[in-house]
């Protein structure tokens, strides 16, 4: 989805068409992916949230997120302009195992991924981290700081998740636009640093 920046001559002047940059927001069930996309998007975000029903009993693990009443069944989509030259298109993945078949399509053309984690349920993060490591897609780990969650340092989280030292770990509040925006900027910088030289 990344294309070269181009200039278009309009009425004797030059307008820069921003380069579209595709970013994935991934993570386990209930970590805050929909919230992050919605908090930072400059357009009304497209969401595919559906009510949790009895059909998900025994399938979706609500441990630690007992108050959750909806779930993403396809994707979340938002957009944010971070500079006159770059517009980020955000695609939030569904978190449940049964929807992982969609990740390959969503990840195609992405420059990188924010893997959102909840320290109350770190075990739900391993699949997303493994997915992007195996496909060599640059990613950062963003710890969504929930109000009732115990706080841990970066080194503790890195050790618990076995995240390589070159992968940035950031703390964020998915509900707050500024925090989410800084997280996305960190990912873009990291992805650019991972580009091959020459």
- Domain positions in the chain are 19-51+73-194
The confidence score (pLDDT) of residue 137 equals 96
0.85 exceeded by the pTM?
no
Residue 46's CB is within 10 A of a number of other CB atoms, namely: 16
Nearest to 181 by CA among 41, 43, 47, 31: 41
Residue 73: per-residue pLDDT: 47
**Tell me, what's the pLDDT at 66?**
52
28: tokens are: 């386990």
Task: Per-residue pLDDT tens, the chain, 198 aa: give them.
Answer: 544 444 444 444 457 788 999 999 999 888 999 999 999 999 988 776 555 445 444 554 545 555 545 554 457 899 999 888 889 999 998 866 656 677 888 899 999 999 999 999 899 899 999 999 999 999 999 999 988 888 999 999 999 999 999 999 999 999 999 999 999 999 999 999 988 765
Q: Which DSSP letter does residue 102 get?
A: G
> Half-sphere exposure (CA, 13 Å, Cβ side) for 126?
7
- pLDDT tens per residue across span 76-117: 899 999 888 889 999 998 866 656 677 888 899 999 999 999
d(CA 81, CA 19): 10
CATH number, domain 19-51+73-194: 3.40.50.300
């Amino acid at each position: 989805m990344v294309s070269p920046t181009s200039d278009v001559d309009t009425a004797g002047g030059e307008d820069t068409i921003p380069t579209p940059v595709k970013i994935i927001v991934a993570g386990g069930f209930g970590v805050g992916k929909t919230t992050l996309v919605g908090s930072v998007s400059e357009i009304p975000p497209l969401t595919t949230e559906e009510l949790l029903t009895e059909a998900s009993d025994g399938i979706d693990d609500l441990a630690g997120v007992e108050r959750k009443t909806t779930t993403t069944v396809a994707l979340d989509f938002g957009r944010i302009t971070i500079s006159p030259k770059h517009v980020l298109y955000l695609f939030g993945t569904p978190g449940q195992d049964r929807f992982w078949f969609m990740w390959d399509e969503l990840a195609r053309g992405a420059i990188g991924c924010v893997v959102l984690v909840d320290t109350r349920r770190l075990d739900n993060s391993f699949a997303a981290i493994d997915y992007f490591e195996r496909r060599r897609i640059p990613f950062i780990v963003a710890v969504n700081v929930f109000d009732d969650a115990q706080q841990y340092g970066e080194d503790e989280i890195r050790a618990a998740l076995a995240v390589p030292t070159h992968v940035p770990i950031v703390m964020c509040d998915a509900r707050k636009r500024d925090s989410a925006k800084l997280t996305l900027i960190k990912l873009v910088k990291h992805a650019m640093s991972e580009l091959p030289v020459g």
